[in-house]
């Protein structure tokens, strides 16, 4: 099988014999993307796939990657898209991705921050990332509660239970002069139900799929609460029979993962192990959710954090949504407000001035409009730092003629580096502390 690795926004060409099946797979994935556990609800609504830009040439098809990273695999070609902010040759890329995803998915990180991502090949690493996410989420949910379900039963039993089905009782018992049986219908509240059987099947299949000891340990922990659940081979159609009520919403992510694993585009089991055709993440959304969750976790003692509410509008007749990424209000002191956006963009050179720095005029004007509308005291754009960055912050001042005051505007680049989760947490927090630390606030918000 041919294997091609590109970075976001790089391009490659395939002969039509390979390119057309890939296009078909991409469209099928796009059509079913809402069943993908890595799908973010506010993604594009286009009916055409957006994973790659496509150009049909004579005898071949040119593909250009977009903001979606992951793996796409047909019967004879495997395409891997890696994030533009990482250097695959020198960075511990997958460990950094796992760290970002753990925040974006609101999943607690492993007990040990030193994870064994080097134990498997790059070819299966995205698959291992997804298995890790599922195992951590599954363990977190099953630690808190078990999925119990009322199963409807109709049986000929030796005592009355539930209600008597008289027509069946006449047919099976009275007609045969059987006085020791009663045909009844009743609901049995039990753990051995279809949802748990699906969950157990997926977990055991993933145990045979993963090569990471870390993933095996977490999956085995997930099996413990399902000890009394019977084994059965499950399919995607089984997952469509599950109906969760509002009190079972914690199990919804697990159902989505199971649907994803069971709904691959080709026969997926070899001795009940999975071979995934695709794993995909929208890096723009991942970066936004990652930073928002990081700020909420590490700065909640000093700042009241909230994500942009979609019901806020720019105009009085409720048009033009306000869609900045986060809103921070100082808990103590003067109650100052900072709004900001996480921008997953590279090529930002903060040593240069104006638009030469790479800061988009549209991003600047948009955030300024929101700052005035929200009566913010400062605004900030946060970019990922690249390995060759020198200047990592820049400050501007905008005069608000209506409010007769200066609004500080900060563009900063934050590091995504370190060999362990703890180091990556520390490196990022040090940079953000320099901006959000209340002792320095008077200097930053004037």
pLDDT in tens, 326-373: 888 888 877 888 888 899 988 888 878 777 778 888 888 888 888 887
Which of 104-108, 143-147, 308-312 has maximum average pLDDT? Answer: 143-147
User: Around Cβ 38, how many Cβ atoms within 10 Å?
Assistant: 22
CB contact at 8 A, 26 and 71: no
* DSSP H helical ranges for 192-349: 194-209, 213-223, 236-239, 252-262, 283-298
CB contact at 8 A, 348 and 363: no
What gap in Å lies between CA 357 and CA 174, rounded to an integer?
89
**Where does residue 197 fall: left (phi above 0), alpha (psi -120 to 50 degrees), or beta otherwise?**
alpha
Span 169-209, pLDDT tens digits: 999 998 889 989 999 998 877 788 889 999 999 999 999 88
What gap in Å lies between CA 425 and CA 108, rounded to an integer?
13
What gap in Å lies between CA 340 and CA 5, rounded to an integer?
33
Q: Token pair for residue 407?
A: 């609004």
Closest CA to 65 of 82, 78, 48: 82
Is residue 89 pLDDT above 60, yes or no?
A: no
When pLDDT is averaged across residues 162-174 and rounded to a whole number, the result is 90
pLDDT band (50, 70, 90) for residue 130 = confident
Find the range with the poorest average confidence among 31-40, 230-239, 377-386, 412-421.
Answer: 31-40
pLDDT band (50, 70, 90) for residue 88 = low
Span 49-84, pLDDT tens digits: 889 999 999 999 999 999 888 888 888 888 988 888
Is residue 109 pLDDT above 60, yes or no?
A: no
Mean pLDDT of the chain: 80
Helix/strand/coil (H/E/C) assignment for every residue in 305-342: EEECCCCCECCCCCCCECCCCEEEEECCCCCCEEEEEE
Specify the higher pLDDT residue, 197 or 419.
197
Q: Token pair for residue 243?
A: 């109906």
When pLDDT is averaged across residues 121-143 and rounded to a whole number, the result is 79
pLDDT band (50, 70, 90) for residue 115 = very low
Specify the higher pLDDT residue, 389 or 399.
399
Which helix (H) or strand (E) covers residue 60, if one does?
A: strand 60-65
Q: Can you give the pLDDT at residue 402?
A: 64
Q: List all residues 6 or more positions away from 221 whose beta carbon is below 8 Å from its beta carbon.
A: 135, 139
When pLDDT is averaged across residues 385-394 and rounded to a whole number, the result is 69
Q: Can you give the pLDDT at residue 389?
A: 54
**Tokens 């055991």 map to which residue?**
204
What gap in Å lies between CA 81 and CA 154, rounded to an integer?
53
Strand ordering across the sheet containing 52-57: 11-15, 60-65, 52-57
Which of 41-55, 132-146, 251-265, 428-442 has maximum average pLDDT? Answer: 132-146
Is residue 314 pLDDT above 90, yes or no?
A: no
Specify the higher pLDDT residue, 128 or 177.
177
Is residue 114 pLDDT above 80, yes or no?
A: no
What gap in Å lies between CA 200 and CA 255, rounded to an integer?
12
What gap in Å lies between CA 377 and CA 370, rounded to an integer?
11
- Cα within 13 Å of Cα(46), Cβ side: 8
C-alpha distance from residue 184 to each of 148, 161, 180, 193 (Å): 22, 6, 13, 20
Classify 197 as helix, strand or coil.
Answer: helix
CB contact at 8 A, 187 and 163: no
What gap in Å lies between CA 168 and CA 216, rounded to an integer?
49
Q: Can you give the pLDDT at residue 44?
A: 66
Q: Can you give the pLDDT at residue 122?
A: 52
Q: Token pair for residue 208?
A: 């045979």
What gap in Å lies between CA 398 and CA 4, rounded to an integer?
47
pLDDT band (50, 70, 90) for residue 106 = low
């Amino acid at each position: 099988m041919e294997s091609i690795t590109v970075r976001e926004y790089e391009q490659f060409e395939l002969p039509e014999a390979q390119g057309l099946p890939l296009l078909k797979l991409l469209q099928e994935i796009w059509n079913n993307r809402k069943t993908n556990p890595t799908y973010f609800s506010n993604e594009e609504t286009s009916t055409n796939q957006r994973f790659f830009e496509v150009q049909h040439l004579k005898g071949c098809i040119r593909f250009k990657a977009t903001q979606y990273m992951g793996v796409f695999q047909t019967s004879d070609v495997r395409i891997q898209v890696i994030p533009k902010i990482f250097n695959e040759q020198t960075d511990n890329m997958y460990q950094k991705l796992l760290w970002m995803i753990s925040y974006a998915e609101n999943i607690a990180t492993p007990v040990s921050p030193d994870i064994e991502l080097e134990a498997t090949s790059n070819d299966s690493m995205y698959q291992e990332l997804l298995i890790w996410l599922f195992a951590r989420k599954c363990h977190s949910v099953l630690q808190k509660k078990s999925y119990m379900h009322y199963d409807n039963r109709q049986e000929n039993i030796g005592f009355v239970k539930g209600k008597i089905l008289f027509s069946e009782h006449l047919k099976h018992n009275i007609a045969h002069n059987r006085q020791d049986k009663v045909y009844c219908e009743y609901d049995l509240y039990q753990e051995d139900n279809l949802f748990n059987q699906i969950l157990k099947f997926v977990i055991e299949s993933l145990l045979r799929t993963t090569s990471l000891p870390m993933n095996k340990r977490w999956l085995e922990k997930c099996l413990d609460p399902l000890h009394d659940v019977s084994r059965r081979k499950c399919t995607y159609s089984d997952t469509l029979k599950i109906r969760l009520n509002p009190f079972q919403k914690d199990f919804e992510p697990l159902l989505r993962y199971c649907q994803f694993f069971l709904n691959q585009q080709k026969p997926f089991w070899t001795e009940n192990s999975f071979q995934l055709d695709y794993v995909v993440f929208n890096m723009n959304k991942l970066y936004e959710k990652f930073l928002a969750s990081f700020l909420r976790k590490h700065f909640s003692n000093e700042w009241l954090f909230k994500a942009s509410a979609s019901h806020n509008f720019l105009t009085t007749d409720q048009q033009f949504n306000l869609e900045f990424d986060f809103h921070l209000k100082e808990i103590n002191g003067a109650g100052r407000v900072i709004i900001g956006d996480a921008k997953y963009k590279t090529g930002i050179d903060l040593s240069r001035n104006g638009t030469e720095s790479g800061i988009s005029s549209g991003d600047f004007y948009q955030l300024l409009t929101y700052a005035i509308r929200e009566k913010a005291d400062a605004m900030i754009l946060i970019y990922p730092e690249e390995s060759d960055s020198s200047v990592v912050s820049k400050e501007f001042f905008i005069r608000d003629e209506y409010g007769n005051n200066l609004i500080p505007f900060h563009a900063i680049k934050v590091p995504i580096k370190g060999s362990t989760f703890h180091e990556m947490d520390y490196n990022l927090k040090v940079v953000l502390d320099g901006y959000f630390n209340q002792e320095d606030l008077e200097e930053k918000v004037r």
